[in-house]
Amino acid sequence: MLAVPDSIDIIIPTFRLDEQYLLPLIHLPKPGGWQFNYYVIADNPGVKPGAELQRLAKEGVIHLFINSENKGPGETRNRGIEAGNGSWILFLDDDIVADSDLLLQYVKATKEKATAIGFIGLTDFPVPVNAFTRALDAAGLTSIFTIAKKKEQFMWGVTANIMFKRSALQDLRFSPLLSAIGGGEDIDLGARVSMLHGTQFMCVKEARVTHPWWNHAQPHFDRFTRYGAGMALLLPRFKKFTWYAFPNPIEGWVLALLCAPLFFIFLSWQKWLIFLAAIPLIDMGINYVRAAGMGYRELKVAYYMTLLRCSTEWGMFKTMIGQGKPSYFMKRINVDFTRPRHFRTNRWRITKLVIYLILLSLLIFIK
């Protein structure tokens, strides 16, 4: 099917069909001379569309689909890709608030950079409102959402606000496996499109949306476990961009358990337990220093940062083992897809190594 020139398919996967967010997106101001087609796809067989969404669907303003079974966000977006034929494909989340000129900014970008494979918009978050959201910020878990503020181009962007050129996308689609996991599918597809064409997505910080804090800003960790699982699945897909790292807390525990007989040559079992308990506490201390450097001086922020990190790491570890790939233990991936050194370190890893060595020396030599 040939793509229709000067047309944008706007694909919004949703679970809730919440008209509070969807209707403002549907009614965004639109530049003249362009065709806009909305594909609202509910990944929830039991959801009931509201009266206004039903009216818009009946009048042909939107195309409304309800999956017969839960397929995950990636597969749901794939359904929208197949349903449309716009020359550009804009992915938006179902809970964002878009600036009123969002579509105007994207159309402007296509005119100024017509050869681009796509555009990464800016996805902002509100100001942190509690210790948990400050931890999200300090841990860098929102940084990729705002990549358009920092870069002119990048290999991939979050699907909350990104536009692909259909001709650049070709037959590539979101991975069903990553979609089922619920993490990493946006990295995977964007990187594959970029690599296929030997170029990157252009960043358009003026095309801005605001994303609410997940879970109403309340502490939760399952999302970040899924993110870690997705990262584990990306490692074998992009082997040449992987590298070995200093063990994270989850890997530190695993190593300490596997090496317990060696530890017992030098330590009593009580001291070995002290060492096990110290692993997350050392990480929390490092996180406190990092957060304090950003102006967040609450111990609770460091506590949540450590739990968030451990959640991601647990997702990576259990998925790696579940996939039968223990060789990826202590491996990481460069998500900017630059070629890494075989082993990387930084001041925080060096600091932790020094603290570990001092602690072991104290436990061994102090009777």
| pLDDT for res 214 | 96
pLDDT at position 250 over 90: yes
Average pLDDT over residues 2-25: 94
b/e per residue, 125-164, with b = 16+ CB within 10 A?
beebeebbbbbbbbbebbebbbbbeebebbbbbbbbbbbb
- Highest CATH level, class, for 4-220: alpha beta
Judge whether 195 and 338 are in contact, CB under 8 Å.
Answer: no
β-sheet bridge partners, residue 1:
none
What residues have CB less than 8 Å from 154, skipping those under 6 apart?
A: 120, 147, 200, 201, 203, 336
pLDDT band for 265, please (50, 70, 90 cuts).
confident
Average pLDDT over residues 298-309: 97
pLDDT band for 39, please (50, 70, 90 cuts).
very high
| pLDDT for res 82 | 97
Tell me the CA distances in angstroms from 195 to 2, 147, 295, one per residue in order. Answer: 23, 19, 38
Judge whether 26 and 38 are in contact, CB under 8 Å.
Answer: yes
What residue type is assigned to position 130 of the chain?
Answer: N
| pLDDT for res 342 | 65
Q: What is the 3-state secondary structure (H, E, C) of 59-125?
A: CCCEEEEECCCCCCHHHHHHHHHHHCCEEEEEEECCCCEECCCHHHHHHHHHHHCCCCCEEEEEEEC
Distance CA 181, CA 165 (A): 26
Give 308-349 pLDDT, tens digit per residue: 999 999 999 999 999 998 899 999 999 999 877 666 667 888
| pLDDT for res 284 | 95
Strands 153-154 and 86-92: unpaired
Judge whether 221 and 308 are in contact, CB under 8 Å.
Answer: yes
> Among candidates 304, 339, 30, which has minimal Cα distance to 155?
339
What residue type is assigned to position 76 of the chain?
Answer: T
Which two structure tokens, joined as six digits, stand for 21?
A: 């967010």
Q: Is the pTM of this model over 0.85?
A: yes
Which two structure tokens, joined as six digits, stand for 152?
A: 């002119």
What residues have CB less than 8 Å from 13, skipping those under 6 apart?
A: 41, 43, 73, 76, 77, 80, 93, 94
| pLDDT for res 272 | 87
Judge whether 17 and 47 are in contact, CB under 8 Å.
Answer: yes
pLDDT band for 106, please (50, 70, 90 cuts).
very high
Distance CA 301, CA 328 (A): 30
| pLDDT for res 268 | 87
* Domain edges within the chain: 4-220, 242-365
**Residue 33 DSSP SS3:** coil
| pLDDT for res 50 | 96
pLDDT at position 367 over 80: no
Mean pLDDT (the chain, rounded): 94
Tell me the CA distances in angstroms from 312 to 12, 67, 138, 227, one per residue in order. Answer: 26, 29, 15, 6
